[in-house]
Amino acid sequence: MDGGGAAGTTGGGYGLGGTIGQPDAGTVSGGQYDFRGGFWPGVIGAASPGGCRLDVDGSGPPPDLATDIVYVARRLLDLPPVPASFRALDPTIPSDVVIGAAIDGLGSALDVDGRNHIDIATDLVYIARRLLHLPPVPASFRLLDPTIPADAVIAANVDALCP
Ligand SMILES: [Ca+2]
Ligand SMILES: [Ca+2]
């Protein structure tokens, strides 16, 4: 049950109301975590129940790999977030505009490895693995790139998307 009718906002709704209630990530000791001057500048709260911003279809937490994460991946590929086949099975899925806005609202928070680039092959993999309760970074990735931040750092970034 969401609000139903799309509120009549035209254009990209970037007039945010301003509550960035993001608690500080706390002190991380150990891993090399260099705080790049505060939090992401463009965090826009997507209206999802429970404050789980990764729940981009607003169905309620926890985020679902088969829906929410698929939508995010498709959005990053410049595809409509929701495949038509999904809509055939579930006509109650919110519109692509609504889900697209929720995904865009995640902004740079999707860059869970903190490398200033949102990448399906890394960031989304880490998010998906975290949701599956696996270590976010596959060992094989670390062999190829030893500079990937610690699992604890990336896991915390994923968790921040859905506290
Ligand atoms: Ca969902
Ligand atoms: Ca990244």
Task: List b or e across 26-54, with b for residues whose CB sees 16 or more CB atoms inside 10 angstroms.
Answer: eeeeeeebeeeeeebeebbbbebeeebbb
- Residues lining ion ligand 1 (Cβ < 5 A) are 55, 57, 59, 64, 68
pTM beyond 0.85: no
State the distance from the centre of ligand 2 to the C-alpha of 98, rounded, in angstroms: 24
Q: Which of 10-14, 104-108, 111-115 has the lowest mean pLDDT?
A: 10-14
Residue pointed to by tokens 């169905």: 59
Helices and strands: H and E segment counts in the chain: 6, 0
Task: Point out the ligand nearest to the CA of residue 114.
Answer: 2
Query: Which ligand ends up closest to the CA of 131?
Result: 1
* pLDDT one-digit tens code per residue, 18-62: 444 444 444 444 444 444 333 443 334 445 656 899 999 999 999
pLDDT in tens, 117-137: 999 999 999 999 999 999 999
Q: What is the pLDDT of residue 51?
A: 85
